[in-house]
Chains A and B, each alone.
Chain A
Amino acid sequence: MVLPLLILVVVLCAALAGWALWFVVRDRAVVLKQLFGAAAVEAVIVVQAVVAGVLQATTDHPVDGPLFWGYLVTAAIVLPIAAVWSFAERTRWSSVVLLVAAVTVAFLEWRLWQIWGAAA
């Protein structure tokens, strides 16, 4: 697991969560620009998956594979589902949904780091 990539995902998630929180306070629904933000997070997660796959294939880093990939796949599907689900709602609750999703992904990243490190 490459730490800078993981930190990048967490920072982007924090930014997205902050943005969503601002919209909750302002009583606004999710806007398209925020979904582009979510797509950026998603792109980094995909890069992360590729890097993790390459590292697993080329090094003998011991890691509980099914557990690690379970978390990674979960982290990858949260935002797309949340984006669709929140965008259909045109009230501030859509922003709360995006906020929850961003925090969830950040939490999953932290777990990924633990799982990758636990086996080292």
Chain B
Amino acid sequence: MSGPTTTPRSTGSGFGRLLVAVYGVLALAAVARSAYQLTQRLAEAPLPYTLSAFAAVVYVVATVALARGAGAWRTVAWAAVVVEAVGVLVVGTDSLLQPDAYPDETVWSVYGQGYGFVPLVLPFVGIWWLWRTRSGGEPVTESEAS
């Protein structure tokens, strides 16, 4: 890739390849956990399990949108990463303020502590990457492209 681009670059290559992979792992973890919680134990803790399911859907959408990475998918990716950022901050704070409402963990409890805080960091990396690859953005540097 040479010179500044006039169209958005794909979000799924170069560093984006890794970002999508990490999103994919998180999406897989969230979907698997959510499927287990919803089918086996929904009655025990409806709020966290419903939140887990919602988070799982958002991670799947983010993974697919970032992997496609162009056109309307960019808009979808933006929406997904912003929802994640808000979700992890709101639920993370809420889980500290009223722990009683969360008898079991969600992906976003205590800012994603159960997942090594990856859910806290990832949306902001996603926002940064979408910003970096926008139309007319700076060209990808050597270290990102290689």
Q: Do A and B bind each other?
A: yes
Tell me the complex Cα distance, A94–B29, Å: 21
B21 at the interface (CB under 8 A from A): yes
**Which of A66, A92, A93 makes the CB contact (< 8 A) with B36?**
A66
B25 to chain A, nearest CB (A): 5
A41 to chain B, nearest CB (A): 16
Assuming the contacts A27-B146, A92-B146, A93-B14, asked whether A74 and B21 have C-beta atoms less than 8 A apart, the reply is no
Assuming the contacts A78-B28, A85-B20, asked whether A70 and B145 have C-beta atoms less than 8 A apart, the reply is no
A114 to chain B, nearest CB (A): 14
With a 10 A CB-CB cut-off, give which of B15, B21, B32, B145 has the most chain A CB atoms: B21
Which A residues are CB-close (under 8 A) to B67? 85
- Are A74 and B145 in touch, CB under 8 angstroms? no
- Are B14 and A100 in touch, CB under 8 angstroms? no
Which B residues are CB-close (under 8 A) to A27? 146
A91 at the interface (CB under 8 A from B): yes
- Are A77 and B28 in touch, CB under 8 angstroms? yes
Nearest B residue (CB) for A103? B25
**Which of B18, B24, B33 makes the CB contact (< 8 A) with A81?**
B24
Query: For the complex, would chain B's binding face be called helix, strand, loop or mixed by DSSP majority?
Result: helix
Interface residues of B in 6-65 (CB under 8 A from A): 13-15, 17-18, 20-22, 24-25, 28-29, 32-33, 35-36, 39-40
Query: For the complex, would chain A's binding face be called helix, strand, loop or mixed by DSSP majority?
Result: helix
Can you name 16 extra interface pairs (CB under 8 A) apart from A70-B33, A91-B17, A96-B21? A66-B40, A70-B36, A71-B32, A73-B32, A74-B32, A82-B21, A85-B20, A85-B24, A89-B13, A91-B13, A91-B14, A93-B14, A94-B17, A97-B18, A97-B21, A100-B21
Residues of A within 8 A of B (CB): 27, 66-67, 70-71, 73-74, 77-78, 81-82, 85-86, 89, 91-94, 96-97, 100-101, 104
- Are A93 and B17 in touch, CB under 8 angstroms? yes
Which A residues are CB-close (under 8 A) to B35? 70
Which B residues are CB-close (under 8 A) to A93? 13-15, 17-18
A67 to chain B, nearest CB (A): 6
Nearest B residue (CB) for A29? B146
**Which of B15, B22, B28, B146 makes the CB contact (< 8 A) with A100?**
B22
Which A residues are CB-close (under 8 A) to B145? 91
Tell me the complex Cα distance, A86–B33, Å: 25
